[in-house]
Amino acid sequence: MGRKWNNIKEKKASKDANTSRVYSKFALEIYVVAKQGEPDPEANQALKFVLERAKTYNVPRNIIDRAIEKAKGGAEENYDELRYEGFGPSGSMIIVDALTNNVNRTASNVRAAFGKNGGNMGVSGSVSYMFDSTAVIGIEGKSEEEVLEILMEADVDARDILEEEDTVIVYAEPDQFHAVQEAFKSAGINEFAVAELTMLPQNEVTLEADAQVQFEKLIDALEDLEDVQRVYHNVDLGE
């Protein structure tokens, strides 16, 4: 499962390189989640999760506050949550999550990004069955044994625990996300290298050099779309 963590790191590093895009996507997600429920993260678990993710991406507090205040103000912007599935070069698999106020625009743009970059759209379920929804939480400064002890003391289950370089990664069921975080916080750990609910592929594929170049262009094209929030795939991008 370690290669999957490397893909998460690579994806995060790519997003970190374009902070304005990252911040705008988080601002929209925070607004939508806060508008759907309470604007208080203690009363809205979905909002609490988004804010935890935003923290790992260093989203400024003023952007977070502005999005929540906009939701409190009763703005009438309505957004739909959409998921698209498709295939990239050499049969690679891709999932695209979007938030949009114009479904036709988003569908057209996602389809065009696939078509212009060696991919094609699939029907709902054509790809997602090969992925598992997973909570991924990473911390630094602890060993795998110490992390296991913390989780055992808190009676929290994990699918897997791996130590890679200076980071220990916990993979857990999605409904265990907050339980894992609370276990760490009770142990005095409040900073996370990663805190994601993500879609991890059951198997990864390695592409030939030309196909990988085309695949990365496809991923970039999808992530550049204004309505696209997150992109998942099953390609091992290497070191």
Based on the fold, state whether residues 159 and 185 are members of the same structural domain.
yes
Based on the fold, state whether residues 137 and 222 are members of the same structural domain.
no
The total domain count for the chain is 3
Based on the fold, state whether residues 49 and 152 are members of the same structural domain.
no
Q: What is the pLDDT of residue 12?
A: 57
Q: Is 224 inside a domain boundary?
A: yes
**Structure-token pair, residue 148:** 């296991």
Q: How far apart are CA 185 and CA 89, in angstroms?
A: 42
Q: Is 238 inside a domain boundary?
A: no
Q: How far apart are CA 128 and CA 110, in angstroms?
A: 17
Based on the fold, state whether residues 96 and 120 are members of the same structural domain.
yes
Q: What is the pLDDT of residue 5?
A: 58
Q: What is the pLDDT of residue 2?
A: 47
Based on the fold, state whether residues 125 and 206 are members of the same structural domain.
yes
CATH number of the structural domain spanning residue 174: 3.30.70.980
Based on the fold, state whether residues 10 and 66 are members of the same structural domain.
yes
Q: Domain ends where: 32, 47, 72?
A: 72
Q: What is the pLDDT of residue 155?
A: 93
Based on the fold, state whether residues 103 and 219 are members of the same structural domain.
yes
Q: Is 48 inside a domain boundary?
A: yes
Q: How far apart are CA 130 and CA 152, in angstroms?
A: 30
Domain, as residue range, for 98: 80-129+202-233
Based on the fold, state whether residues 136 and 122 are members of the same structural domain.
no
Based on the fold, state whether residues 116 and 149 are members of the same structural domain.
no
* 3-state class percentages of the chain: helix first, strand second, coil last, to nearest 5: 50, 25, 30
Q: Is 239 inside a domain boundary?
A: no
The partner residues of 81 in beta bridges, in order of sequence, read 99
CATH number of the structural domain spanning residue 14: 1.10.10.200
Q: How far apart are CA 187 and CA 151, in angstroms?
A: 10
Based on the fold, state whether residues 145 and 125 are members of the same structural domain.
no
Based on the fold, state whether residues 219 and 116 are members of the same structural domain.
yes
Task: Kindly give the parts of the chain with pLDDT less than 50.
Answer: 1-3
Query: Cβ neighbours of residue 152 under 8 Å, at least 6 residues apart?
Result: none
Answer for the pair 1, 136: CB distance below 8 angstroms, yes or no: no
